[in-house]
């Protein structure tokens, strides 16, 4: 079962209070600090992340088993650990960009 986590919006402006994800060269706001669970993402010019992720909004969902959730899907970003106990992946479903998140611990 998937549970809504946040809505991600790429931005061209780095905002105060953003956290840095070094591997992706991306700055992120905390969606839990937003009353509507919006996460803003600012990508550095040399970010290795796919162009689709840099330009398209996404819906994010918590799943129990990330590997099972991405099986058979069109994967844009393979499952990766972004912080201790948190793995994420990005898929597309029809024209929608979806982030799947698995929280352990």
**36 with 4: CB under 8 angstroms?**
no
How far is it, in rounded angstroms, from Cα 72 to Cα 75?
Answer: 9
Main-chain dihedrals φ then ψ at residue 56, nearest 5 degrees: -115, 140
Residues 47-78: tens digit of each pLDDT: 999 999 999 999 999 999 999 999 999 999 99
How far is it, in rounded angstroms, from Cα 39 to Cα 46?
Answer: 21
pTM for the full predicted model:
0.94
Enumerate domains of the chain plus CATH numbers.
3-103 (3.10.180.10)
Mean pLDDT of the chain: 96
How far is it, in rounded angstroms, from Cα 74 to Cα 72?
Answer: 7
How far is it, in rounded angstroms, from Cα 49 to Cα 68?
Answer: 23
């Amino acid at each position: 079962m998937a549970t809504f986590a946040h809505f991600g919006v790429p931005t061209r402006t780095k905002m105060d209070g953003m956290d840095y994800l070094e591997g992706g060269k991306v700055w992120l706001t905390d969606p839990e600090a937003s009353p509507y669970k919006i996460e803003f993402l600012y990508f550095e010019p040399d970010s290795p992340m796919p162009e689709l992720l840099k330009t398209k909004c996404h819906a994010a969902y918590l799943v129990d088993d990330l590997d099972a959730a991405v099986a058979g899907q069109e994967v844009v970003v393979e499952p990766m650990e972004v912080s201790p106990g948190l793995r994420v992946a990005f898929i597309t479903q029809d024209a929608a960009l979806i982030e799947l998140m698995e929280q352990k611990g």
